[in-house]
C-alpha cells in the first residue's frame, strides 16, 4: 500500500516528537519515501541528524535558506508529496493552519500545498479542550484535513486525559487507509477480488473470575498484518481479534472477541469463506467454572480445574462448507517444524506457518518473525522478516494458490 508513496512529514515542537522518529522508520520499512520538515521548536526535541539518518533524506528547517530555496523551494517541497503528515501537530501549528499564517517553513509549506493533509494532534488536555483549539480543528476538518488521535492517557505534563499523540502504528494505519480510499486501481483488478477471507488474531482470555483471566503473550501484530495484506490483495476480509492494542487494519471488518468459544462462534458466523488464516494464539484450556465474584485470599489457594477449549482450526477444517484454503499457525518453543508437521495432519488444514516463540526469539510482541511454511509438498524455510513482510509473502502465496486453478 505504501510502496513508492511520497510522504512529507512535518515535525512540530512537543515531547511527542520522539514518536516521529519511529513513524519515519515504520513508513520506510513499508516502502514509503519520507521527506521531513523540522520546525525550530521540533529541533528542541529531536535532532536534524536523527531525522536525516532515519529518513535518508535532507531535513528542511529554514524558510530563508538560499540554498534550499534554489534547490528545493517551499512550494515544490509541499507539492512533490502524495500526502502531507503533521506529527506532532501542536496547538500553535494547528492555529496557524486554520488562520492561514505562514511565518516559517512548516506553515508556509502547509499553506502552499495542493496535497491532502493528515494531522496527529498532541497537547495538554486543557489545551485540547479549549474552544479555540476545537474551533481550529473543526475549521481544518471542514476544509478536508484528516485527523488521527489524539488518544487518552498519561500526558508528559503529569495530567491525564485526551491529548496524547496517536502511536506511530496508528498513524501508519490512517495513512494506509487514506491511500486505500484514494487508490486508482479498481477492486475488480486486484488478484483476490471476489474472494472472502477470515483471519483470527491476537490472544484469547479465559476468565477465572471477573478480575483475573488466563491468556498468553500474543500481541496480534502478525494476524493483523495478514488481514491487512489479504485486504490489499482485494479479498473481502473479516478479522476476528482477541484483545490487542494493534490498530484496526484499513479496509477490514473487525469482530472483537475475548474467549476461544467466542472466537469460534464469530468465525462460524462469518462463513462461508474461501480463505481462513488462524493466526490467533488461542488459549488451549479454560477454567471449568469461572467464579461470579472476585476470589478472595481467605485461605489456601482455590483449586483451578481446567477444561479444553474448542479447536478452532480443526473445527473449520472439517466442518461443512470447508473453505478452499485453510492456514494455521504453530507457535512452538522447540522442535518447531516437527510439531508443525504433526499439527498439519491432525488439524486437516492445508498449510501451517510454524514459528519459534521461545523467549530468546522475541517473536511475541516483537516486529520480526521467522517462519517455516509446512504443507503436503514439504517445508519451505523463510528468512527472518518483519511481520508485515511475512504477511505480504503469505498473501502472495495465497494469490498464487488460486491463480494456479485451485478453487
157 is catalytic: yes
Residue in 157, 267, 278, 349 annotated catalytic? 157
Q: Which residues contact 66 (CB under 8 A, 6 or more apart)?
A: none
Quickly count: other Cβ atoms within 10 Å of residue 135's Cβ.
Answer: 12
What mean pLDDT, rounded, does the chain reach? 88
CA atoms within 13 A on the CB side of 30: 25
- Torsional sign, CA 212, 208, 245, 124: negative
Checking if the pLDDT of 337 tops 60, the result is yes
At 33-78, the pLDDT tens digits run: 999 999 999 999 999 999 999 999 999 988 776 565 555 566 778 7
Quickly count: other Cβ atoms within 10 Å of residue 193's Cβ.
Answer: 13
Cα gap 138→7, rounded to integer Å: 24
- The annotated binding site for CTP is made up of 284, 294, 310-313, 329, 343, 347
CA distances to 211, 324, 364, 388 from 221, rounded to whole Å, are: 25, 25, 9, 8
- The annotated binding site is made up of 284, 294, 310-313, 329, 343, 347
* Mean pLDDT (whole number) for 96-112: 93
Residue 266: pLDDT band (50, 70, 90) is very high
Quickly count: other Cβ atoms within 10 Å of residue 241's Cβ.
Answer: 27
Cα gap 27→168, rounded to integer Å: 9
Quickly count: other Cβ atoms within 10 Å of residue 146's Cβ.
Answer: 17
At 345-373, the pLDDT tens digits run: 899 999 999 888 775 656 566 778 888 99
Q: pTM for this one?
A: 0.64
At 118-133, the pLDDT tens digits run: 999 999 888 999 999 9
Residue 213: pLDDT band (50, 70, 90) is very high
8-state DSSP, 185: S
Checking if the pLDDT of 187 tops 90, the result is no
Domains parsed from the chain with CATH numbers: 6-178 (3.40.50.1950), 185-290+303-403 (3.40.50.10300)
Q: How many residues does the chain have?
A: 407
Lowest mean pLDDT among 183-197, 202-216, 326-340: 183-197
Give the model's pLDDT for residue 385: 83
- Torsional sign, CA 34, 39, 40, 43: negative
Amino acid at each position: 500500500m505504501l510502496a513508492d508513496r511520497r510522504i512529507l512529514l512535518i515535525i512540530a515542537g512537543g515531547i511527542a516528537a520522539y514518536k516521529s522518529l519511529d513513524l519515519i522508520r515504520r513508513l520506510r520499512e513499508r516502502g514509503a519515501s519520507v521527506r521531513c520538515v523540522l520546525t525550530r521548536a521540533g529541533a528542541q526535541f529531536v535532532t536534524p541528524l536523527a531525522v536525516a539518518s532515519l529518513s535518508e533524506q535532507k531535513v528542511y528547517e529554514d524558510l530563508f535558506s538560499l540554498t534550499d530555496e534554489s534547490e528545493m523551494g517551499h512550494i515544490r517541497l509541499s507539492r512533490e508529496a502524495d500526502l502531507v503528515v503533521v506529527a506532532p501537530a501542536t496547538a500553535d501549528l494547528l492555529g496557524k493552519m486554520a488562520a492561514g499564517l505562514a511565518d516559517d517553513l512548516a506553515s508556509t509549506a502547509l499553506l502552499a500545498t495542493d496535497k491532502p493533509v493528515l494531522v496527529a494532534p498532541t497537547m495538554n488536555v486543557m489545551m485540547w479542550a479549549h474552544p479555540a483549539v476545537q474551533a481550529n480543528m473543526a475549521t481544518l476538518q471542514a476544509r478536508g484535513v484528516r485527523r488521527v488521535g489524539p488518544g487518552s492517557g498519561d500526558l508528559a505534563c503529569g495530567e491525564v486525559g485526551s491529548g496524547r499523540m496517536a502511536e506511530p502504528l496508528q498513524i501508519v494505519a490512517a495513512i494506509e487507509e487514506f491511500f486505500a480510499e484514494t487508490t486508482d486501481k479498481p477492486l475488480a483488478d486486484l488478484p483476490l477480488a471476489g474472494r472472502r477471507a477470515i483471519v483470527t488474531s491476537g490472544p484469547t482470555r479465559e476468565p477465572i473470575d471477573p478480575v483475573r483471566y488466563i491468556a498468553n503473550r500474543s500481541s496480534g501484530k502478525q494476524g493483523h498484518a495478514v488481514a491487512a495484506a489479504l485486504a490489499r490483495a482485494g479479498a473481502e476480509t473479516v478479522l476476528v481479534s482477541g484483545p490487542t492494542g494493534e490498530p484496526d487494519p484499513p479496509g477490514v471488518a473487525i469482530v472483537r472477541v475475548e474467549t476461544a468459544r467466542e472466537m469460534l462462534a464469530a468465525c462460524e458466523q462469518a462463513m462461508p469463506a474461501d480463505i481462513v488464516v488462524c493466526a490467533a494464539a488461542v488459549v488451549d484450556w479454560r477454567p471449568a467454572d469461572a467464579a461470579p465474584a472476585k476470589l478472595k485470599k481467605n485461605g489456601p489457594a482455590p483449586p483451578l480445574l481446567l477444561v479444553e477449549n474448542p479447536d478452532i482450526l480443526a473445527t473449520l477444517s472439517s466442518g461443512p462448507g470447508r473453505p478452499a484454503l485453510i492456514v494455521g499457525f504453530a507457535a512452538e518453543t522447540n522442535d518447531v517444524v516437527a510439531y508443525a508437521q504433526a499439527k498439519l495432519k491432525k488439524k486437516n488444514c492445508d498449510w501451517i506457518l510454524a514459528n519459534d516463540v521461545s523467549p530468546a526469539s522475541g517473536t511475541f510482541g516483537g516486529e520480526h518473525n521467522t517462519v517455516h511454511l509446512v504443507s503436503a509438498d514439504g517445508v519451505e524455510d523463510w528468512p527472518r522478516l518483519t511481520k508485515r513482510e511475512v504477511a505480504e509473502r503469505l498473501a502472495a502465496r495465497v494469490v498464487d494458490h488460486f491463480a494456479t486453478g485451485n478453487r
